Amino acid sequence: MMTSTDQSRVSTSQLLKRLENLCCCHGHSLHRHLILLVVLFVTILKPKEPSIFAQPVSLEGFELVGFPVIKLNISIGILVTVKNPNYGGFKYENSTVHISYRGNVVAEAPIRDDTVPARSTHNITSVVSILADKLVTNSHFSGDMAVGVLNFTSETTLHGKVNLLKVFKMKATCYSDCNISIYHYWKPERRLRLQIEGKTR
C-alpha cells in the first residue's frame, strides 16, 4: 500500500515528466518556426536593390538667338521612375538629378525624400532648365550645333533603407544614367524642328 509520501513522489515525478514533454514539444515547434522564418527571409523576403530610371519626356522650352550674341535656353521635362521589388517600403533620402554636356554639369533637379510602398512603382516628374552659359562656352558646342544634335547624360542616385516586417531595416542604393539627345534642324519653310530622345543605359 502506497503512503502519502510515495504518492507525492509519484505526482512530482509525473509533473516533471509532463513539463519535460511540453518543453520538448515547444522546443521542436520553435525550431520549426525559426527554420521557416529563415527560409522565407532567404527566398521571398530577401532584400533586393530598388531600381531607378530617369528619362526625358518632353522639351518644355527651346530658345536660340544667334545675333548679336549666341544665346540658348533649354528646358527638359524629366520623368524619374523608382521600382521597389521588396516586401517592405523603400524610404529614400533627398537627392539630385544631374545633367551633363560633354562631361560638364549644366543642369540639376532636386528629388525630395519619399517612401515607395512594397512591390510598387513611384513616378517623379520635374522640369530641368539647362544653364546656357555652360553650353555656349564649351568648345564642342558650335560643332554640335552645326551637326544638328546636342547630346547630354543624366545621372541619378538614391540612398535609402528597405523596411521589412517593420523590424528589419536594410540599406539600399539605386543608380541610373541616361543618354539624352536633342535634334534640331531647319525645314524647307525655314521653321526650326526639334526632337528629343532618351535611352537608359
| pLDDT tens sequence across 55-91 | 888 888 777 776 666 677 888 888 999 999 998 899 9
The sign of the torsion formed by the CA atoms of 140, 142, 146, 150 equals positive
- Tell me which residue of 110, 105, 142 sits closest to 125, measured CA to CA: 110
Rounded to an integer, what distance in angstroms lies between the CA atom of residue 52 and that of residue 70? 36
| pLDDT value, residue 201 | 55
pTM of the prediction?
Answer: 0.70
| pLDDT value, residue 142 | 86
CATH for 51-200, options being 1.10.10, 2.60.40, 2.60.120, 1.20.120: 2.60.40
Domain borders along the chain are: 1-44, 51-200
| pLDDT value, residue 8 | 47
| pLDDT value, residue 10 | 45
| pLDDT value, residue 4 | 47
| pLDDT value, residue 85 | 92
Give pLDDT < 70 ranges for the chain. Answer: 1-45, 66-70, 185-201
Cβ contacts of 123 within 8 Å, gap of 6 or more:
79, 80, 81, 82
Beta-strand relationship, 120-130 and 71-84 = antiparallel
List, in sequence order, every beta strand (DSSP E) within the chain.
51-65, 71-84, 89-92, 95-101, 104-111, 114-116, 120-130, 149-164, 168-186, 192-200
Cβ contacts of 96 within 8 Å, gap of 6 or more:
108, 109, 110, 111, 156
